[in-house]
Amino acid sequence: MIISTSDKKYFQKKSLINYNGSLYDLSIPRVMGILNVTPDSFYDGGRYSHIGTAIERVGQMLGEGADIIDVGACSTRPGAVMPDADEELSRLMPVIGEIKRLYPEAVLSVDTFRASVVSALVNKFGCIIVNDISAGGIDSEMFRTVAGLNVPYILMHMRGTPETMQNNPSYKNVTKEVVKELSVNLNKLYALGVNDVVIDPGFGFAKTIDHNYELFNHLDAFRFFEIPLLVGVSRKSMLYKFLGGTPDDALNATTVLNTLALQAGANILRVHDVKPAVEAVAVYNKLKEFAQ
C-alpha cells in the first residue's frame, strides 16, 4: 500500500518509509523476494544471471505476492570473492532497466555495499531502497550518498567482509553487541538526515549457528529502535547445517522461522520462496484478527 504524502496524519508513524515521494506502509508485514543475478550465490547462483530468466523470475515473484524485489549482483555468501563495481553494474543495469519498463509500479531494493553503484542506479532509474550488508563499513561514502540521494536504507549488522566475516566470530553477548553496533551506525545516519531506515540483525553474517539462534530468540530487543525490522533467514546455513542437508532442504525450516519472526514484530521477510512467505503472512494476519 502506497500512501500519498499529502495525507499528513501518517507522518508520525514509525512503520512508514518514504519511497519515491510516497509513504510505503510497513505496518502490514511485507515479503521481499530475492533476485540474485550472480553466478555464485549460495542458493540460486547462476539460475537468474541471464536477463530473460531474471525477468521471468520477477514476474513470478510479483504474481505470487511479493511486495518488494531485492536485486543483488554481488554474492555475499561466506568466503565470496567480490566482483568490482563495473562488473556489478553490468549485471544490475539491464535487469533493473527491464523491471522498471515491464513493472513500473514494483518497489525495488538493490543489495549492494557500494556508494558508486547506488549513485549510478538512482541517477538512471530513480528511487530504490538500498540494502547494504555492511552498514556502511565497506564503503565510507555510503551514508553520505544515501543522504544526498534521499533514498531508503536497510542497515544490516555485519563485522568484516564476506571474505572474512566467518573467521571465528566472537561475542560476549551477541544481542547486546549487535544492538549497540547498529545503534552507532543509526545515529550516524540520523545525523546526516537519513530518516527512512530499516534495521536488519544480519543473520548468517559474522555469526555462528548458535549466535544466530540466540539473536533470533531476542528479536524483541530490536523494538528498541522503533523503526521497521527486516528478517532474512531464507535457506541459510543456520537452518540447513543445523538440521543436516543443503539449502535445497531448508524451505520448511525457513517458513517456521519466518512465522516466528512475524510474531516477534518483523516488518519485512526477505525470502527466496515468495509464495510460502506470503501464505505465512496471510495466516499470521488472520490470527491477529482474533487476538483481542
Query: Does the pLDDT value for residue 41 go beyond 70?
Result: no
- At residue 109, the pLDDT reads 97
Inside any domain, residue 232? yes
Task: Find the helix packing angle between 142-149 and 115-125, rounded to 10°.
Answer: 20
* Higher pLDDT, residue 262 or 162: 262
Q: Is residue 292 part of a domain?
A: no
For the chain, percent of residues with pLDDT exceeding 70:
87
More confident residue, 234 or 167: 234
User: Over 50: is that where the pLDDT of 292 sits?
Assistant: yes
CATH of the domain at 179: 3.20.20.20
Annotated catalytic, 236? Answer: yes
Q: Judge whether 245 lies within some domain.
A: yes
Residue 287 lies in a domain: no
pLDDT digits over 165-209, tens only? 667 678 999 999 999 999 999 999 999 999 999 999 999 998 999
Given the residues 236, 241, 286, 288, the one annotated as active site? 236
Residue of 4 and 149 predicted with greater confidence: 149
Tell me the whole-structure pTM to 2 decimals.
Answer: 0.90
Q: Is residue 44 part of a domain?
A: yes
Q: Which of 241, 270, 286, 288 is catalytic?
A: 270
Confidence of residue 16 (pLDDT cuts 50, 70, 90): very high
Residue 228 lies in a domain: yes
Mean pLDDT (the chain) is: 89
- Residue span of the structural domain in which 69 resides: 28-281
pLDDT of residue 170: 83
Average pLDDT value for residue range 142-169: 86
Q: What tens digit of pLDDT does each residue of 42-72 get? A: 444 455 557 888 999 999 999 999 999 999 9
Give domain status of residue 264, yes or no: yes
254 within a domain of the structure (yes/no): yes
Give me the number of domains the chain comprises: 1
